[in-house]
Amino acid sequence: MIWQNKSMAPESLLLAAKRILLITHIAPDGDAIGGLLALGHALRRLGKEVMLSCSDIVPKRFFYLPGYPAIVNQASGPFDLIVSLDCSDLRRVGSLYRADEWREIPFLNIDHHVTNTRFGTLNWVEPSCVATSELVLDLCDRLGVTVDADIARCLLYGILGDTQGLRTDNVTPALLGKVMRLLEAGAPPLAQVMDQIFSRRPFNLIRAWEKTLETMQLDAERGVVWAFLTRQARCESGWPDTDLQGMSNFLITADEASLAAVFVEKDDGRVEVGMRARAGYDVARIALSFGGGGHPQAAGCEMDGPLEVAVAQVVAALKSHI
């Protein structure tokens, strides 16, 4: 079968397919949705039948991106190719995943996470890329699809999202060249996209930040700062989501911090953990040891409760890392 050729180029798989399922990860971020939509636009231009899917409902902040209403929470085939975007392992696919049905279908795994488990039949994993959206830009060229304004907007959103607005240490002159290219292809002005991603948040999210910051602690000697949000405090703040959208990025700005962690108690009592590290430190390893993954400077995991046990375990690991 075609998909057994592991050396095949990703564009060849896509060009050979007719009915393609594109999926991205649970708790989707801007790169997940931006990359998903951009590749969807590109494949439709090639006449492909495309279904876009994510286990979680698309958060409202992504309604800025053209094509979001097409994203569904269920995948109903048949498909002759499945493509995952920005998923470092199969669990990140969430409730969409159908082991039995999908076993017989070629599976193209497109991702930039260094911790990617290579679960696809073809794995196109480029940890040197800042975002899956950067890979999708490359893929548009490989597919011969002209990057139009819609694709450019989605990809710029993804790249800015995953680089914290061009602030991560993997931003090179070459990446800036790609950003220039997206702007020239008709993406909205950089300021507008930056504003959409970084300068807007619901009032109740700010309340949730405040409830989290109330619990903030610093081990100044070891440079570890952490904070948590209980389910009850989250309810009181009126913020329904467990994604605090940048809280851990904010904590790591503390001059005294080399490592930061934010813990959010889910409705089912499990705990989502976001970790951040300054350059020279690595939280991906720690996240991995708790069943998660990510990048050296930004990683995460999900743990069993109770909250206080998860906090104690991760904080201990962070302290011993230093």
Which stretch, 28-36, 47-55, 98-106, 180-188, contacts its own copies (CB under 8 A)?
Answer: 180-188
- Cβ proximity to its own copies, 45 vs 201, nearer residue: 201
Q: Rounded to whole angstroms, how far apart are CA atoms 229 and 277?
A: 20
Q: How far is CA 216 from the centre of its chain?
A: 25
Q: Is 1 in the site for its own copies (CB under 8 A)?
A: no
DSSP string, 77-118: ---SEEEEES-SSGGGGGGG--HHHHTTS-EEEEE--TT---
Site string for its own copies, 236-265 (x = CB under 8 A): --------------xxxxxxxx--------
- How buried is 177 (Cβ within 10 angstroms: 0-12 exposed, 13-18 middle, 19+ buried)? exposed
**Closest-CA residue to 84 (of 112, 50, 107, 118):** 107
- Range 54-57 contact pairs with CB under 8 angstroms and sequence separation of 24 or more: 54/23, 54/24, 54/25, 54/26, 54/28, 54/94, 54/96, 55/26, 55/93, 55/94, 55/95, 55/96, 56/26, 56/27, 56/28, 56/94
Q: Rounded to whole angstroms, how far apart are CA atoms 154 and 131?
A: 12
Q: Is 213 in the site for its own copies (CB under 8 A)?
A: yes
Q: Is 219 in the site for its own copies (CB under 8 A)?
A: no
Q: Is 165 in the site for its own copies (CB under 8 A)?
A: yes
Q: Is 63 in the site for its own copies (CB under 8 A)?
A: no
- Cβ proximity to its own copies, 78 vs 177, nearer residue: 177
23: which strand partners? Answer: 53, 84
Residues 114-133 touching its own copies, rule: CB under 8 A, are none
**List 16, 72, 180, 312, residue binding its own copies (CB under 8 A):** 180
**List 203, 236, 312, 320, residue binding its own copies (CB under 8 A):** 203
Q: Classify residue 57 by its DSSP letter.
A: P
- Cβ proximity to its own copies, 79 vs 209, nearer residue: 209
Which stretch, 41-49, 137-145, 173-181, 305-313, contacts its own copies (CB under 8 A)?
Answer: 173-181
Enter the tokens of residue 181: 């290219």
**List 68, 194, 288, 296, residue binding its own copies (CB under 8 A):** 194
- Cβ proximity to its own copies, 35 vs 223, nearer residue: 223
Q: Rounded to whole angstroms, how far apart are CA atoms 180 and 183?
A: 5
In which residue are the tokens 């073809």 written? 122
**List 142, 166, 282, 313, residue binding its own copies (CB under 8 A):** 166
Shortest distance in whole angstroms from residue 203 CB to its own copies = 4
Amino acid of residue 237 = S
Shortest distance in whole angstroms from residue 218 CB to its own copies = 5
Which stretch, 89-97, 112-120, 216-224, 267-275, contacts its own copies (CB under 8 A)?
Answer: 216-224
Which stretch, 17-25, 77-85, 100-108, 178-186, contacts its own copies (CB under 8 A)?
Answer: 178-186
Shortest distance in whole angstroms from residue 309 CB to its own copies = 25
Q: Are 26 and 86 within 8 A, CB to CB? A: no
- Determine the size of the site formed for its own copies (CB under 8 A): 46
Residues that bind its own copies (CB under 8 A): 165-173, 176-177, 179-180, 183-184, 189-192, 194-195, 198-203, 206-207, 209-210, 213-214, 216, 218, 220, 225, 250-257, 279
